[in-house]
Structure formats: structure tokens, C-alpha cells
Amino acid sequence: MFKKFFTVVMLTLFVGTVHAELQIEITGGINEGHKIAVLPFKQDPAVNLDVSSIVSADLMRSGKFSPLPQSSLPQVVSADGGIENVDALSATGAEVAVSGIVNKTADNKFNVEFKVTGLAGSNKGRVLSHFRGASSLSTMRQAAHRVSDRVYELFTKQKGCFRTKIAYVVYKRGATFPYQLMTSDYDGYNEVPIVKSTQPIMTPVWAPDGKRVAYVSFENRKPAIFVQDIFTKKRTRLSSFTGLNSSPAWSPDGTKIAMTLSKDGQPDIYYYDLTTSSFVRVTADRSIDTEPTWSEDSRTLFFTSERGGKAQIYKFDFATKKVDRVTYQGARNLSAKTIPGTNSLIVITQVNGFRVARVDADGSIYMLTTSSLDESPSVAPNGSMVIYSTVYQGRKGLALVSSDGRFKANLPSSSGEISAPSWGPNVQ
């Protein structure tokens, strides 16, 4: 368990700086999920972060949990990380308690151990989950996220996504190379710069193996799509046709990269087949077709098209080769992204400005935000959360909303204007 991810995490963290550029500011209702009590872990003094606060924050952001404020909880954790007074905790109304310890076992080696104890009904007093694993100080954040993943999985039977990464573009005004492509933990920690350019970078997207990103770069004064290894920094120029080379999207099965090209007269959808090293044209319509995005099974391509007038979402079925319209409500619908595990889409819909919304299989639209300059949504690999770009307090920055709309937060940054977020895959 912990040993395996510990090794993987060592490779990803060695050049990272440990500071949070993205601070969370909560803006939306947080009182509707499972009430849980996350108790402060008994931690060795050498551990310089608060595991329980990372766990609380993770679970809260998913929209599915409402961790009770720690100050309101009776402090009843025993030396082995278990609960001493179930009745006192049960009285808070929480469904379960999460408690644990972080103790030193050797030089820079720690045991991270936690229990989930039921507080209600037939589970009252029962230990529902008990895990332990090893971590060093530098991987302690990942160990905390691992606790969150376990708790999330216990309740939802779905994989957690708290150990995933995001990629995004930062614009640092005044720098020689102001356009910067970064990766970080999904909560903004451990930011690692990948590319710094004199010209714009757009639309980073992850390969399903989590080791490469594709993106659009204007470094040659015209747009080209590159594919780059985020660890070695080696890269390949994939597409630099005349006209647009835009909007890359990597298929979940890893075999194809969809994109928008206008070399044949107007923006159309194409894909590059990595197994045959060839470009294949998907649409040939006279209007704008762009923003391709793959279904979970890689057999459908959703995209934005103006073939019916104003921009709406359409889909191309690889089996039937047919194109069908998907969205009918709202003045415009753009930037569709599938929500894994569902038949729903996240879109940017134009209703009093441009907002993140969810389109369900029956066509109904549900607004998830109240802002008006939203763009670039990207969905967590377990479908629980959406990260997107918006304007908050006059600055361009990222924000999170749970895909059920229950939890919202802005992630303002002090390091520049941030845009184009892309949620990385679950590679644990």
C-alpha cells in the first residue's frame, strides 16, 4: 500500500518546491455532505504538517462530506490512534470518526496509521477501516491524501482522486518567459514548472499514463501542438500545419490525440493515431468545429460545432460514423467534458454570461456556478470535482466546484494569472 506509492511519489516530488501557490477560499455551501469527525492525529513533533486538516479539506472539496470543525469535537483519541469515547463523538451527529497517529519508526521513516470508527446505528463503535503505511517527511502530504482516498472509497465505493495532479498555465507579467506551464498536486501544493515561453501556451492535456502532456505553443509565432515528458522535459512537435493547431485531447485508451486543424479550409476535428502515426479527419463541415473531447470508452468524440447556428455540443460515434447533436438548451454550449462514471457532461453554457454547468443524459442542464466568465473546465478522474478558470476579484484564476454543485471554492494565486487547468489521471 504505502510502500508502493511512496516510491512512485519520490520520483514525482524530487524537483518540486513545497509551497502552496493556490490558496483555497471557500465560497459555496458545505453543509450537505456526510457529517464526519476528523480528529487531529497524534503526530511525532518532527512532522511539520497537520494530516487531519489535509484529510478534512480533501473530503470537503469532493462535495460529499461535511467535516465538523475540530474545535467542536471532544478530544478522545487514544495513544494507538483509536477512539476512547464513542458516545461523546456520536452526540455530535457525525456518522463516522477518522482518527490516527504518525509515529517515527526510524530515521526519517514514519508510520501513518488511521482508523475509521462508526458512530451511528449498527456501526456504532465498530472499526470500519484500519490502515497503516510508511512515509518520509517529504511524502507526508501524499500520505495524508492517501488517508482521504481510503475514507472516500469506504463511503462511495469509488476511487478517490486526492493524490492526482493538475497542469495549468501561469502568466507572469514582466518576466522574460512569462507564459509558464506548471504541474502541481490537485490542491496546489508542490508546483513544478515544465515549460516557460515568450509566447502563449494553451490547453495542456494529460496522457492517460500521467507522464506526458500535450499542449499548444505559440513559441514560433504560430500555433503548434507539442507532446512532452513532464519528468525528462523531452518533447516532440506533433502538429504544425498551416492554420490552427488547437485544442488537443488525449483518448483515455491512450491511442489517439484529437485536435482542431483548419488546414483544409475551416476548423475541423482530426485525430492523430499514435499506433499508426497518421492523422485522420473526423469532421468536414463548413462551420467551426472545435474542442474535441473523448468519452470514457474512447469510442465517442464530443465537440463544439456551429453547424446548427450558434455553438452547441455534438458527438461523433466511431462505430456508426454519425454526428448527432447533444445540447439544446442555453444560447451557446462550449467546452464539453465527460464526467467519468456517468452519462453526463460538464459544459460551459451561456446563460447571463458563461458558466460551468452539467448536462445530464436526458438533456437537462444544471448550473454549477454563479460566476459569468468561466472557461476551461476539467473533470477529476473519479467524476467528483471540476476545476475551471474564472475571474475572481478582478483576477484570472482557478476554481473548484463539485460536480453535484455542493462545494465551491476559489483558488487565487499570488504568482500570476492562472488559466487552462487540466486534471491529471489516477495513476496510483
- For other proteins, which residue of 8, 137, 158, 193 counts as binding (CB under 8 A)? 193
- The rounded distance, in Å, linking the Cα atoms of 324 and 336 is 14
Member of 291, 339, 346, 384 binding other proteins (CB under 8 A): 291
Sheet holding 323-325, edge to edge: 289-294, 300-305, 312-317, 323-325
CB of 272 to other proteins, least distance (A): 8
- List residues bridging with 165 in a β-sheet: 185
Count CB neighbours of 264 within 10 A.
13
Distance CA 116, CA 86 (A): 12
In the bound state with other proteins, the residue whose beta carbon lies nearer, of 131 and 392, is: 392
Stretch that binds other proteins, among 9-17, 85-93, 99-107, 154-162 (CB under 8 A): 9-17
Interacting span for other proteins (CB under 8 A) from 45-53, 194-202, 362-370, 397-405: 194-202
Q: Which of 7, 105, 220, 276 binds other proteins (CB under 8 A)?
A: 220
Q: Does 9 bind other proteins (CB under 8 A)?
A: no
Q: Is 15 in the site for other proteins (CB under 8 A)?
A: yes
Residue from 23, 105, 236, 276 binding other proteins (CB under 8 A)? 236
* Binding window for other proteins (CB under 8 A); candidates: 63-71, 107-115, 158-166, 368-376: 368-376
Give, in order, the Cα–Cα distances in Å from 341 to each of 275, 296, 408, 427. 27, 8, 21, 17
Span interacting with other proteins, options 60-68, 94-102, 284-292, 313-321, rule CB under 8 A: 284-292
Nearest-angstrom CA–CA distance, 361 and 324 = 14
Work out how close the CB of 61 gets to other proteins at its nearest, in angstroms, rounded to a whole number. 24
The span of 23-31, 136-144, 205-213, 229-237 binding other proteins (CB under 8 A) equals: 229-237
Q: Does 251 bind other proteins (CB under 8 A)?
A: no
- Candidates 126-134, 135-143, 294-302, 349-357 — which segment interacts with other proteins by CB under 8 A? 349-357
Determine how β-strand 385-392 pairs with β-strand 365-367.
unpaired
Confirm or reject binding of residue 239 to other proteins (CB under 8 A): yes
Phi and psi torsions of 53, nearest 5°: -75, -30
Beta bridge partners of 261: 245, 268
Among 206, 271, 272, 423, binds other proteins (CB under 8 A): 272
Whichever of 5 and 270 has its CB closer to other proteins, that residue is 270
Q: How far is the CB of 302 from other proteins (least distance, A)?
A: 13
Quick one: how far is CA 112 from the chain centroid? Answer: 25
Does residue number 276 form part of the binding site for other proteins (CB under 8 A)? Answer: no
Using CB under 8 A, which of 73, 205, 348, 386 touches other proteins? 348
Of 31, 54, 35, 61, which Cα lies nearest the Cα of 386?
A: 61
Burial grade of 124 (CB within 10 A; 0-12, 13-18, 19 or more) = middle
Intra-chain end-to-end CA distance of the chain, in Å: 10
- Is the separation of the CB atoms in 372 and 353 below 8 Å? yes
332 forms part of the interface with other proteins (CB under 8 A):
yes
Give the relative orientation of helices 51-61 and 140-156 as an angle to the nearest 10 degrees: 40
- Residues in CB range of 30: below 8 A, 6 or more apart: 60, 66, 406, 407
Among 309, 318, 311, 388, CA closest to 356: 388
Binding of residue 309 to other proteins (CB under 8 A): no
Q: Can residue 51 be called a binding residue for other proteins (CB under 8 A)?
A: no
Helix axes 140-156, 2-13, angle to 10 degrees: 130
Helices (H), 126-170: 140-156
Which of 53, 222, 298, 412: binder of other proteins (CB under 8 A)? 222
Residue 29 Cα to chain centre, angstroms: 20
Shortest approach of other proteins to residue 241 CB, angstroms?
6
- Is residue 139 involved in binding other proteins (CB under 8 A)? no
For residue 370, the minimal CB distance to other proteins (Å) is 16
Q: Is 327 in the site for other proteins (CB under 8 A)?
A: no
Q: Is 370 helix (H, G, I), strand (E, B) or coil?
A: coil
- Number of chain positions touching other proteins (CB under 8 A): 68
- Can residue 375 be called a binding residue for other proteins (CB under 8 A)? yes
Q: Which residues bind other proteins (CB under 8 A)?
A: 14-15, 17, 176-177, 180, 192-200, 202-203, 217-224, 226, 228, 232-244, 246-247, 260, 262-263, 267, 272, 277, 279, 288, 290-291, 304, 311, 332, 334-335, 348, 350, 353-354, 373, 375-376, 391, 394, 419-420
